[in-house]
Amino acid sequence: MTHALPLTPDYDVWPIEANLKKVFFKPRLLTVCWSDGRESRFHSIWLRENAADKTTVNPATRERILDLSTLPSWPEIADAKIDEAGALCVDFAPEGQRLRFHPGWLRAHDYDNTGDPEVPLVPVTTWKRDSGEGPDNVDAMGLLDTKAGGEAEEKILTPALTSILGKGLVRLRNLPTKPDSLEAIAQRIGPVRPTNFGMLFDVKAKPNPDSNAYTSIALPPHVDLPTREYQPGMQMLHCLENSVEGGEAVMLDGFAVAEALREHHPDAFTTLTRVRWCFANTAKTTDYVWYSPIIRLDEHGEPFEVRIADFLRGPLQTNFEDVEPAYEALIVLQKMLHDPAFAIRFTYKPGDLVIFDNRRLLHARDAFEGTSGHRWLQGCYMERDEICSRYRMVKRARHQREVAAEASLA
């Protein structure tokens, strides 16, 4: 009998919250009792597919290689017990092989006792200007220090990623101001998504602009690229220079606006979740068009993304009887966007970097006097997936350090 716990079918670390105490089984169902009193049921076919042995997953990649349809018949349980290491051992028929399951992994994937598996990695917290739940400021000095390792993750990345996932926005301070350093900063999280504006784009007034952002005029609250089928999930704006008069940055939580709209103007809210608007960016060399509601909801009826950018809306093309209700709802929303209770304002300082959820946060800008100095931001896009992946990796690394520390004390 082995005294080592088995591998898991992934690369994560799964702390053991409770020990396995008893096991009962039928051919197609297994029940385990935990040391804290919980009971968990698992189907035989689910256990067979999620084993971690070399007939089920490639040990080099931890990707599944088992094709259930190639098994002689439906996998059933011939025997089950808890071994000396505390792992669950299951004998499967008709294959006649014994497979072991890590108790920490098994507990974490207890589908009999958990709710929606797609719960957010970080609880979503909506905020207004004076709600006390606003975005966080993080001192990011040392983020690019390759020697910092886990220390940079704990002090900088962990709170930054937590704020982005929970509040939609984080403001990092004290970063380098060397042009194009944004790409190296972004790579600490994940790959950059290129667009027609390039891998990195310069936000400053310039001749012959192809976007209002590249002028000195004010910009209303908006998200970027709602004209795309899959608009970028994240945006970074890095301040390299700012000596102009004006140009104050404005940020609003689009989910907070949507919640207020649903509470105070439910008909307008429903209309904006139903009517599909045209979003268009017809520049001299590109022509992007997409149709979508302004507010999109997930399967639970909660806001999933907002597409708000007045200067990128094309002509409304919808049912004749929906035109006036759609515009009435739009005007209600536009008035709410002007309410200062929703907005936070700040002035960029060189070395500042904001990272925000581009499908949730609205950003805006006051006009500035272009001849009064220089204002230069560099920006880039990435996906929500990259933030989530990096957050999981930071958590995994922390768990691995904790396990190593415990082992050194044993």
- What is the spatial distance between Cα 109 and Cα 115, in angstroms, rounded to a whole number? 11
- What is the spatial distance between Cα 254 and Cα 21, in angstroms, rounded to a whole number? 48
Question: Span 38-43, mean pLDDT?
Answer: 97
> What's the confidence (pLDDT) of residue 120?
85
Question: Span 157-163, mean pLDDT?
Answer: 94
Question: Which of residues 266 and 218 earns the better pLDDT score?
Answer: 266
pLDDT digits (tens, 9 = 90+) for 44-55: 999 999 999 999
- In 134-248, which ranges are continuous DSSP H helix? 150-152, 158-167, 181-187
Confidence of residue 76 (pLDDT cuts 50, 70, 90): very high
> What's the confidence (pLDDT) of residue 403?
75
Tell me how crowded residue 64 is: count the other CB atoms within 10 A of its CB: 14
Q: Where are the domains of the chain?
A: 20-114, 136-393
Architecture of the domain made up of 20-114: 2-Layer Sandwich (3.30)
Q: Which two tokens stand for residue 172?
A: 């990092």
Does pLDDT of 286 surpass 70? Answer: yes
User: pTM higher than 0.95 for the full model?
Assistant: no
- What is the spatial distance between Cα 86 and Cα 385, in angstroms, rounded to a whole number? 35
Which residue type is seen at 302? E
Q: CATH assignment of 136-393?
A: 3.60.130.10
Which residue type is seen at 93? A
Q: Output helix, strand, coil percentages for the chain, rounded to the nearest 5.
A: 30, 30, 45
Q: Is 180 left (phi over 0), alpha (psi -120 to 50) or beta?
A: left
Q: What percent of the chain is modeled with pLDDT above 70?
A: 97
Does pLDDT of 272 surpass 60? Answer: yes
Question: Span 222-238, mean pLDDT?
Answer: 96
Residues with Cβ within 8 Å of 63's Cβ and at least 6 positions away in sequence, in order, are: 57
> What's the confidence (pLDDT) of residue 195?
93
pLDDT, the chain, mean:
92
Question: Span 17-29, mean pLDDT?
Answer: 96
Confidence of residue 102 (pLDDT cuts 50, 70, 90): very high
Question: Span 33-48, mean pLDDT?
Answer: 97
Question: Span 115-133, mean pLDDT?
Answer: 84
Question: Span 29-53, mean pLDDT?
Answer: 97
The dihedrals phi and psi of 409, each to the nearest 5 degrees, come to -90, -15
DSSP letter for 154, please: I
Does pLDDT of 396 surpass 90? Answer: no
> What's the confidence (pLDDT) of residue 1?
46
Does pLDDT of 164 surpass 70? Answer: yes
Question: Span 54-67, mean pLDDT?
Answer: 95
- Say if CB 351 and CB 138 are below 8 A apart: no
- Give the 3-state secondary structure of residue 165: helix
Question: Which of residues 69 and 373 earns the better pLDDT score?
Answer: 69
- What is the spatial distance between Cα 163 and Cα 122, in angstroms, rounded to a whole number? 9
Residue ranges of E strands in 104-257: 136-139, 169-173, 201-203, 219-222, 234-242, 245-246, 249-253
> What's the confidence (pLDDT) of residue 283?
81
pLDDT digits (tens, 9 = 90+) for 349-383: 999 999 999 999 999 998 887 677 788 999 999 99
Question: Span 328-343, mean pLDDT?
Answer: 97
Does pLDDT of 121 surpass 60? Answer: yes
Q: Closest Cα to residue 253, out of 384, 125, 377?
A: 125
pLDDT digits (tens, 9 = 90+) for 316-326: 999 999 999 99
> What's the confidence (pLDDT) of residue 410?
62
Does pLDDT of 117 surpass 80? Answer: no
pLDDT digits (tens, 9 = 90+) for 174-203: 999 999 999 999 999 999 999 988 999 999
Q: From residue 261, how far is each of 236, 265, 297, 347, 370 by CA, in Å?
A: 28, 5, 14, 28, 36
Residues with Cβ within 8 Å of 290's Cβ and at least 6 positions away in sequence, in order, are: 226, 227, 228, 229, 278, 279
Element (H, E) at 369: strand 368-369
Question: Span 225-247, mean pLDDT?
Answer: 93
Does pLDDT of 234 surpass 90? Answer: yes
Q: Closest Cα to residue 205, out of 197, 196, 195, 216?
A: 216
